[in-house]
Amino acid sequence: MTVVLTIAGSDSSGGAGIQADLKTFAAFAVYGATAVTAVTAQNTLGVSSTHEVGAAVVIAQIDAVLEDLGADGVKTGMLASRNTVSAVAERIRHWGLGDRLVVDPVVRASTGAGLMRGHGLERIVRELFPLARVVTPNVPEAEAIVGRSIRSVADARAAAREILTLGPRAVLVKGGHLQGPDAVDILVTADGDTDFAAPRIGTRAGHGGGCTLSAAIAARLALGDDLRSAVGAAKTYVTSALAHAEPIGRGRGPLAHTIDLRRVLELYLIADTGLVPPASLPVVVAAALAGGVTIVQLRAKGLTTREQLDLARELRTLCASRGVPFVVNDRVDVALAARADGVHVGHQGMEDISPADARRLLGPDAIVGVSVGSADEAARAEAAGATYVSAGPMFLTTTKADAGPAAGEPLLRAVRAAVTIPVVAIGGITAEHSDRLYAAGADGVCVAGAILRAADPTAAARAFQLVGAGSAA
């Protein structure tokens, strides 16, 4: 089991600090251990009290974890004081953990409250930065380090390059505080720069966002990702966690660290190269994502493996920018190479590879769906390890030649009764059908032609969302 240690403060509201870290570790299926540096009384409105844990107790916690569990990854967050910073740095050196260390130089909470006494940031820079695999300051923290204001992506890039000279092997300046339609994070290493951009999410959530990002990077590095891949996966996770955040508290609420798959499956788009030419498909998918599509599957029959892989990578990048999962139809090898979030197979495809085997190849958090045409097939798919099943065809469809006769709501009700995992309705579905299908037990609807062939894919996707919202109400 992969173990990741977080050395950080406790947040009584559960949105930031070690609580956010542990939720993030669980989302990436790694085991989280902790060394608590401070106990804070805080909520979404602010921090009302802080109790610093003595450096000797912090050291004892670190040693207790490492002597027994070890650690494949380590991250630091709130360290509270200069003494604690020095103690943590000494134990990192003692245990030889610098090659797996992510340093989040936390100085203030997202509500603005101070979380570091004295000149603690200076000591973090002097003692921890030279040990770190990557440091992850936000814009205010980067401004404090370089001693000047940062107002643009270019400013952030220059600051990251300057911070790189202070000793870390890589610097990620988080761009959430900058203005603009996209939130752009800039990764700088000795080998060059990489920008990670995602559309800004319209939400008042965000409490613990920096903790979550650094924890996700630490988890992915511990699982064996290279740094750029780890940052990309972490960025996608945080964007999705912001997009799915529920309103909690009266202030800046927490992220959705664990995302309900049923919500992810609400509007499932099959990006079918049989309906839209491969060269045009990314444009159409981008428009559908703007309309509220919640998951995208690439179905690319007839393309070569290289063509499928190139298209999968392009679509995955589009989906990641929106925090939307991306899966590949049938081809586990393409899904793996494209770093897709999962794969979808036909029920007969389980004879070639089981859902459990697909998840072993793609990772424990992979989404693995199976098409079914009966309650018995659905039960077997769940027993084999499927994450969800798609039941159909609901109605007559021309987008899949071998779809079979329409089965309608009776099939959907039977499948819903046979399994505990989410059920998606598929086959000939239009927005006008959605209410009936939700009433029959569908967690989501799977659509191809009704969106892909529409004159305005964005409006077509929104039509499904409006029907779903009315049904939920």
Q: Do both 186 and 299 map to the same domain?
A: no
Q: Is the dihedral of CA 273, 279, 284, 289 positive or negative?
A: positive
Give percent above pLDDT 70 in the chain: 93
Catalytic residue among 23, 100, 235, 299: 299
Residue 54 or 111, more confident: 54
What is the amino acid identity at position 434? Answer: S
Predicted confidence at residue 424, as pLDDT, reads 97
Predicted confidence at residue 180, as pLDDT, reads 86
248: nearest Cα among 9, 16, 24: 16
Please return the burial class of 286, using the count of CB atoms within 10 Å of its CB with bins 0-12, 13-18 and 19+. Answer: middle
Residues 271-277 have a mean pLDDT of 97
DSSP class of 257: S
Judge whether 249 lies within some domain: no
357-385 residue pLDDT tens: 888 888 777 899 999 999 999 999 999 88
Answer whether residue 297 shows pLDDT above 70: yes
Q: Do both 97 and 176 map to the same domain?
A: yes
Answer whether residue 269 shows pLDDT above 80: yes
Catalytic residue among 82, 100, 380, 400: 400
Catalytic residue among 321, 371, 390, 434: 371
Residues 322-337 have a mean pLDDT of 92
Q: Do both 42 and 138 map to the same domain?
A: yes
Judge whether 171 lies within some domain: yes
Distances (CA, A) of 329 to 90, 119, 343, 353: 49, 54, 6, 13
Task: Indicate the angle between helix axes 227-243 and 305-321, nearest 10 degrees.
Answer: 50
23 included as an active-site residue? no
| Summary mean pLDDT of the chain | 90
Judge whether 256 lies within some domain: no
Predicted confidence at residue 398, as pLDDT, reads 61
Asked if 241 and 255 touch (Cβ cutoff 8 Å), the reply is yes
301 included as an active-site residue? no
Predicted confidence at residue 322, as pLDDT, reads 79
75 included as an active-site residue? no
Predicted confidence at residue 339, as pLDDT, reads 87
Residues 6+ apart with CB under 8 A from 437: 394, 409, 412, 425, 429, 445
Q: Do both 387 and 239 map to the same domain?
A: no
Q: Do both 28 and 173 map to the same domain?
A: yes
Q: Do both 65 and 107 map to the same domain?
A: yes
Q: Do both 94 and 226 map to the same domain?
A: yes
Predicted confidence at residue 323, as pLDDT, reads 78
**Would you place residue 97 in the very low, low, confident or very high pLDDT band (cuts 50, 70, 90)?**
very high
Judge whether 102 lies within some domain: yes
Judge whether 179 lies within some domain: yes
Domain range for 239 is: 3-243
Asked if 11 and 2 touch (Cβ cutoff 8 Å), the reply is no
34-51 residue pLDDT tens: 999 999 999 999 899 999
Q: Do both 135 and 220 map to the same domain?
A: yes
138-177 residue pLDDT tens: 999 999 999 999 999 999 999 999 999 999 999 999 998 8
Judge whether 248 lies within some domain: no
Asked if 203 and 220 touch (Cβ cutoff 8 Å), the reply is no
The total number of structural domains in the chain stands at 2
Predicted confidence at residue 192, as pLDDT, reads 95
Q: Do both 219 and 102 map to the same domain?
A: yes
Judge whether 338 lies within some domain: yes
58-92 residue pLDDT tens: 999 999 999 999 999 999 999 989 999 999 999 99
Q: Do both 324 and 187 map to the same domain?
A: no
Integer Cα distance of 58 and 99 in angstroms: 21
**CATH number reported for the structural domain that contains residue 418 in this entry:** 3.20.20.70
Residue with the two structure tokens 């969302």? 465
Integer Cα distance of 275 and 349 in angstroms: 23
Predicted confidence at residue 402, as pLDDT, reads 54
Judge whether 251 lies within some domain: no
Q: Do both 125 and 193 map to the same domain?
A: yes
**CATH number reported for the structural domain that contains residue 98 in this entry:** 3.40.1190.20
Q: What are phi and psi of 402, to 5 degrees?
A: -100, 25
4-28 residue pLDDT tens: 999 999 999 999 999 999 999 998 8
Q: Do both 51 and 164 map to the same domain?
A: yes
Answer whether residue 128 shows pLDDT above 50: yes
Q: 193-224 burial by CB neighbour count: b if 16+ within 10 A, else e? A: ebebebebbebebbbbbbbbbbbbbbbbbbbe
